[in-house]
Structure 1
Amino acid sequence: MYLYLKSEMIKTKRTKIRKMLLMIPLLGSLLAIGFSFLGGSEIVPLSVETIINHWGILWLSVLIALTTGLLNNLEKKSTNFKTIIGLPVNIQKKEWSRILFSTGLVAVGSLLLIAALIVTSLLIQTSPHLVSFSSCILAVILMFFTSLWQIPFCLWLSRKTNLFITLLLNSMLNLNLGSLFAPTKDWWLIPYSWQLRVQIPLTKMHSNGIPLPKSSELLSYSVIPIAVVLSLLLFISLTLIAIRSFNKLEVKS
């Protein structure tokens, strides 16, 4: 497996994939801070919480879609997967390594977001305002775990369609379905709402970006283990489906 992972690492050197890891957390953070300053002095102390909220609503799903989509594009534009099919390699291990590699890239992106949160809290000393900084870090980590299922899904989808459709579908479903269902009792039925739902009790902020009252039912921590377990189960299921689909890959002549 190490050799397969090493192959993916070498393949992505000097590509847009690695640049996305820095650009997306930075862009998402700067835009969120910009929105906070536009909101006035009362909103500025909420900058860290706002960055996390925006990350869950849009940018995390964008990062996953771009990472997996660009990874598939490398194969499509070079040999259209002919190299993989033609070589004596284990196809299932190859796809599994691509999923693991994409997971590692998204993890790095999440760590870079945490770094952006640290810088923001140092520049704006009153932020975070609603919760402790440790709660904000935990929120980012849990959002990573509850979005893992999107990685095998986007790898499969971008292989079947293209980067544009994958980016549009994954980001728009998250932006619309996720933010719509996250604050409802049916949040667990919609996978796109999981990453938003787990950050609500940790940041004390509604998915629409408004601070919640202390009596709100949305502040219950009981949803966190449910969301994590559901996401891991869906990740395993979609990974098996993606590997089986990749194993049946046929190269078009």
Structure 2
Amino acid sequence: MSSYLNAENLKLKRTMTKKLVLIFPIITLFFGIMSGVYYELNTFNWWYMMMLPGSIAVLCALVNQKEEKKIKYRAVFSMPIDLKKVWTSKVMLIAIYVLFCCIILPLGAALVGKFILPRIISSSALKYIVVIPIINAITAAVVIAVTSLWQIPLCLFLARKFGFFVPIILNVAVGITLNSIMAVKSIWWICPYSWTSRLMCPILGILPNGQIPGAKDYMLNSGVIPIGIILSIMLFVVLITATSRWFKNQEVI
């Protein structure tokens, strides 16, 4: 499997796809500066509520486009290789890229919060800066990556089936809408798009709308964390199994 993964990674050498792994979190870090003392909270909130669904969809669309462009997967389908492993390696490579994006975000936010933010806000406001403990930030980054895994095979399938823009439009529009509506409800667990934002409530202390909850807010219940993680992994396994079987039966157009 490692040879398939290395091959997929080599295909993206010197492409925009790899650069976006840095660009996406940096854009989020840049715009978060407008939040002032709530910089770290809002940066995380904007990341998993808006930027990450779009980032995943774009990465999937670009990975698919790399194969579609000019040869339309002919080089893949004509070779004596395991097509299920090819598909799985694409999904796993994007998952690694997403994890890197998610890890870059808390490290960048901590650096900006320590060295840049104090220079651009008034000295009287410094004592009001809301700082996320680094252990919580790293934990949040890993959980965000894990609970977003299921989006990768879904978006890669949509890109292969319907083209470049369909996964981007659907994942962003549906993701933002359902995130906002379902995450605060008791039935949050039936909506995959709400899992990440619901789990961030007890981990980071941020409501889906970016506000800070009260001390006894039910959204701070940490019991949702293992539920969300298990559901995310289960859905990821189902989707990657189903889509890899579908890909195996594809033919050259």
Residue type matched to 2:56 in 1? I
Is the contact between residue 130 and residue 203 of structure 1 (CA under 8 Å) also seen in structure 2? no
- Structure 1 position 194 matched with structure 2 position 186: no
Residue type matched to 1:14 in 2? R
Residue type matched to 2:45 in 1? N
Is the contact between residue 40 and residue 132 of structure 2 (CA under 8 Å) also seen in structure 1? no
Deviations 1:76-108, CA, capped at 9 Å, x for gaps: 003101111101111111111111111111111
What residue number does 1:93 align with? Answer: 85
Q: CA deviation at 1:120?
A: 2.1
- Structure 1 position 250 matched with structure 2 position 251: yes
Distance 1:131 1:94 in 2: 39
Deviations 1:105-163, CA, capped at 9 Å, x for gaps: 11111121122122122133668626423212211211111111001111111100112
Deviations 1:40-87, CA, capped at 9 Å, x for gaps: xxxx22211111111110111111111111000000003101111101
Residue type matched to 2:244 in 1? I
Is the contact between residue 4 and residue 94 of structure 1 (CA under 8 Å) also seen in structure 2? yes
Residues 19 and 131 of structure 1: CA distance in aligned 2, closer, same or farther (over 3 Å): closer
What residue number does 1:184 align with? Answer: 185
Which of 38, 51, 55 aligns to 1:46? It is 38
Residue type matched to 2:9 in 1? M
What residue number does 1:204 align with? Answer: 205
Output aligned runs, 1:70-149, within 5 Å.
70-123=62-115, 124=117, 129=130, 131-149=132-150
Distance 2:85 2:140 in 1: 32
- Structure 1 position 29 matched with structure 2 position 21: no
What residue number does 2:5 align with? Answer: 5
TM-score, normalising length from structure 1?
0.92
Residues 4 and 141 of structure 1: CA distance in aligned 2, closer, same or farther (over 3 Å): same
Residue type matched to 2:149 in 1? L
Q: CA deviation at 1:31?
A: 1.4
Report the secondary structure of 1:87's partner residue: coil
What residue number does 1:238 align with? Answer: 239
What residue number does 2:123 align with? Answer: none
Is the contact between residue 131 and residue 202 of structure 1 (CA under 8 Å) also seen in structure 2? no
What residue number does 2:47 align with? Answer: 55
What residue number does 2:19 align with? Answer: 19
What residue number does 1:150 align with? Answer: 151
Q: CA deviation at 1:165?
A: 1.1
Distance 1:179 1:144 in 2: 19
TM-score, normalising length from structure 2?
0.92
Q: What stretches of structure 2 of length at least 5 have no aligned partner?
A: 119-125
Residue type matched to 2:163 in 1? N
What residue number does 2:168 align with? Answer: 167
Distance 1:47 1:136 in 2: 13
Distance 1:33 1:210 in 2: 17
Greater CA deviation, 117-126 or 194-203? 117-126
Is the contact between residue 59 and residue 94 of structure 2 (CA under 8 Å) also seen in structure 1? yes
Distance 2:162 2:107 in 1: 34
What number of residue pairs does the alignment pair up?
Answer: 244
Report the secondary structure of 1:78's partner residue: coil
Distance 2:2 2:238 in 1: 23
Distance 1:106 1:81 in 2: 24
